[in-house]
Amino acid sequence: MLRGGRRLTGSNHPKGNCRFFPKHFWNTVESTAVVCAERIRLAKQYSQLVNVYADLVTEMQGVIGLGLESEVDVIRRSCRLALETAEKAKIALYRHEADHHCTLPAAPHAAVQV
């Protein structure tokens, strides 16, 4: 329903001129109701890359105490690369969520009146 008790019809529908909601609207609503496999894959990849970064930081902490600066520099470069890779994975996840709208809760069909 629209304001004033008006029903959403083809003439006042924001997504196009049709009597009912367009198919892509329902596909979006229905796809948010199920688990998004790509989102899960991207989140898992991001988590794994963050763990690699965390492990390298822990390793660097142990080497710093030994005074081996050449080894610290190698690990520091590895940390920087791991962090950049994790950031790229985070951006890919966020971009997917924004493009696919898989973070939005699904609206129940009964709540929409046509």
pLDDT digits over 67-95, tens only? 888 899 999 999 999 999 999 999 999 99
Residue 114 placed within a domain: no
Has residue 29 got a pLDDT over 80? no
Has residue 30 got a pLDDT over 70? no
Long-range contact set of residues 93-98: C-beta below 8 Å, sequence gap at least 24: 93/39, 93/42, 93/43, 93/45, 93/46, 96/38, 96/39, 96/42, 97/39
C-beta of residue 104 within 8 angstroms of C-beta of residue 13: no
- Residue 65 sits in the same domain as residue 84: yes
- Residue 102 sits in the same domain as residue 66: yes
Number of structural domains the chain divides into: 2
Q: What is the pLDDT of residue 1?
A: 42
- Give the residue numbers spanning the domain of 93: 36-106
Residue 43 placed within a domain: yes
Q: What is the pLDDT of residue 69?
A: 87
- Residue 89 sits in the same domain as residue 63: yes
